[in-house]
Amino acid sequence: MLVIGGDWNCTMDFTKDRNGEEPHSVSVGVLRDIINQFDLVDIWRTKHPNTRQYTWVKVSGARVSAARLDRFYMSRNQSNRLLGATILPVGFSDHHITMAQLSISPGPRQASYWKFNVKLLQDATFCSGFQIFWERWGQRREEYESLSQWWDVGKVQIRLFCQQYTALSSSEARRVLGELERSISEMEVEMVGQGNVSLQANLAELRRDLGSFFQVKAKGALVRARFSMLKEMDAPSSFFFGLERQSGEAKGMHCLRLSDGRVTSVVGEMRERTVEFYTELYRAEMCDPVCAQVLFAGLPKLSLAQRDEMDIPLLSHELAEAVTQMSPGRAPGVDGLPVEFYKKFWGIIGQD
């Protein structure tokens, strides 16, 4: 399947894709030859045969120019894989984004560890909600055999609470984003259809709001893609957000060589080989007693008084001090809760 796309700076049918004449007839001829040679179809136009929507709108004096310059083309014989195509405004460019959804057989989904989003700690609603949640969870200690069992289950409940809160927040964010995109599209239609240039200031404000929205989204993708500074990347494009997915895929194990030399991608076989490898790596081995005596000779030892002191239970203020001295950006366990989480809520969970 061949897919090509870009800002072509010309339109194949100006009666549908421009609000004026086509000024680049030579470019149209070259592009038409490419389309015919490779038997391509316009992805967006295939799904919207009679719709007028533009990816570029420019106001110059009293004149409004608009065109659908940004397009994807794909092989005609694969067009049945096309599920949908949309044009949406963005805040970081004077062009809109064109998106296409294709049906491609996905590979096996890779399981991943959950990680707490530290940005939630800046959300006052989340923090107050977590405090209420933890107080209620504390009332269920008696349901468990030990405090450690209650705490282990509690960490799972924390993850579920965070995931549910994030899902609700994401739903609201999608609603706001959809309203912004819809308002921009409707305003552009009015500007182009009626030549109403007085809406330019309102349109610019909506685009700034949309740009701010994407910047917030970009910062979250930066953290997950492990980029240290936003300036390391250009505008928050679809390629940029794809880096987050690539970073996660790089951590995945897609295949493994078994002990017999055969390469497998079967999940069960990969797990068995991994357990086998590390069991062999860390298994106990016979030790030469003479070598052990030489190795351990002269090593310093704790006195009985020092041993007794080391066995004294840790105090609450000692644990609190240890937490405050931990480096940020780290998770002290495999539960996905980072140091920032413990520092923020130590006053709530510390006694537990």
Q: pLDDT digit string (tens) for 60-118?
A: 877 888 999 999 999 988 888 888 999 988 777 889 989 999 887 554 555 456 888 88
Helices and strands, counts by H and E, the chain? 12, 9
Cα-based torsion angle of the residue sequence 88, 93, 95, 96 in order, rounded to the nearest 10 degrees: -10
Please, which residues bridge with residue 98 across strands?
87
Taking only the tens place, the pLDDT of each residue in 21-49 is 999 999 999 999 999 999 999 999 999 99
Q: Among the listed ranges 12-26, 160-174, 282-296, which one has the minimum average pLDDT value? A: 160-174
Stretch 167-179: mean pLDDT: 77
pLDDT at position 218: 61
Count of all residues that appear for the chain in the document: 352
CA distance 72 to 31: 12
- Whether the CB-CB separation of 244 and 221 falls below 8 Å is answered with yes
Best CA proximity match to 238, nearest among 49, 34, 92: 92
With bands split at pLDDT 50, 70 and 90, how would you rate the model's confidence at 217?
A: low
- State the average pLDDT for the chain: 82
Following DSSP, what letter does each residue of 113-152 receive, concatenated? -----GGGGG-HHHHHHHHHHHHHHHTTGGGSSSHHHHHH
Evaluate if residue 196 carries a pLDDT over 50. Answer: yes
| Residue that wins the pLDDT comparison between 201 and 304 | 304
Indicate the class that CATH gives domain 3-102: alpha beta
pLDDT at position 232: 43
CA distance 121 to 348: 14
Taking only the tens place, the pLDDT of each residue in 279-304 is 999 998 888 889 988 988 889 989 99
pLDDT at position 105: 59
State the CB neighbour count (10 A cutoff) for residue 131: 14
Q: How far, CA to CA in Å, does 138 sit from each of 133, 141, 145, 350, 351? A: 9, 6, 14, 12, 11
* pTM recorded for the entire structure: 0.46
Best CA proximity match to 27, nearest among 4, 9, 6: 9
| Residue that wins the pLDDT comparison between 205 and 42 | 42
CA distance 346 to 338: 12
* Comma-separated ranges of CATH 3.60.10.10 domains in the chain: 3-102
Stretch 247-255: mean pLDDT: 60
With bands split at pLDDT 50, 70 and 90, how would you rate the model's confidence at 219?
A: low
With bands split at pLDDT 50, 70 and 90, how would you rate the model's confidence at 236?
A: very low
CA distance 172 to 213: 13
With bands split at pLDDT 50, 70 and 90, how would you rate the model's confidence at 233?
A: very low
| C-alpha of 95 from chain center | 23
Evaluate if residue 260 carries a pLDDT over 60. Answer: yes
pLDDT at position 17: 92
pLDDT at position 183: 82
